[in-house]
Amino acid sequence: MLKRKVAIVTGGTKGIGKGIADAFSKEGARVIILARTKSPTKHHFIQCDVSKKQEVEKAIAEIIKKFKKIDILVNNAGIFPFVPFEKMTEADWDKVISVNLKGVFNCTSTAMPYMIKQKKGKIISIGSIAGAFVGFPNLVHYCTTKAGIMGFTKGAALDLAKYNIQVNAIAPGAILTPGVKDGLSKEVTAQLIQTIPEHRLGKPVDIASTAVFLASDSSQYITGQTIVVDGGYTDQ
């Protein structure tokens, strides 16, 4: 479905990002991963902090020089440190905003001109049910950024539709990633599973398969949407 497409996946060395990168590659795409920390990967890797516009611009320039185009951008990089709101500092707030929300702007605004020039492109941002659909304790900053991604997606979709660029988001529920494993105890995880109609945590492949569809030509008439993938959690 993605043969010869050039796809950028931010934060693609683990978890959901890795799942998406691997799925894109399996479908024939040439995948470039942007991440702050280098990890073993079979994909082309560029070290980049998405919260810093200058680093993003340098990375995108390198991609254009090597691959000549950008067909797909997946804004996946994100952090979610658990901090009770009453103890949250301005530094805590700024750190999450700069990666989760400013990072989406930095990458999209830098890749966008190349998509406009070729009059075609797919922009997919990984949001969350947190913030956009439900609240979660100790994650006020994270919830704010993910709700922001939903609004960003709708606004950008309208501005870029005339260039044949589709802009969508995916809102995962509880997905079994290294971050979730580290952040939740076994007891809390078991309790969480009981609240999900499908009685399991999602897997990165559940998000990756949705991303493949949104990145393909099969989704040409879908834009500005946030697709919820949460095992029915928000249907209750």
CA distance 82 to 96: 11
Task: Classify residue 235: in a domain, yes or no.
Answer: no
Task: Classify residue 180: in a domain, yes or no.
Answer: no
Task: Classify residue 196: in a domain, yes or no.
Answer: no
Residue 223: both structure tokens together: 């834009």
By annotation, the residues acting in catalysis are 142
Distance of CA 152 to the CA centre of its chain: 13
Print the SS3 string covering 3-16. Answer: CCCEEEEECCCCHH
Task: Classify residue 56: in a domain, yes or no.
Answer: yes
Q: State the pTM of this model.
A: 0.96
Task: Classify residue 134: in a domain, yes or no.
Answer: yes
Whichever domain contains 216, its CATH number is 3.40.50.720
Q: What is the pLDDT of residue 181?
A: 78
Task: Classify residue 156: in a domain, yes or no.
Answer: yes
Please give the residue range of the domain that contains residue 128.
6-175+203-230
Q: Which helix (H) or strand (E) holds 46?
A: strand 44-47
- 184: confidence class by pLDDT, cuts 50, 70, 90: confident
Q: Which helix (H) or strand (E) holds 68?
A: none
Query: To the nearest whole number, what is the mean pLDDT of the chain?
Result: 97
Task: Classify residue 43: in a domain, yes or no.
Answer: yes
| pLDDT tens readout for residues 110-137 | 999 999 999 999 999 999 999 989 999 9
Backbone angles phi, psi at 131, to 5 degrees: 90, -50
Task: Classify residue 190: in a domain, yes or no.
Answer: no
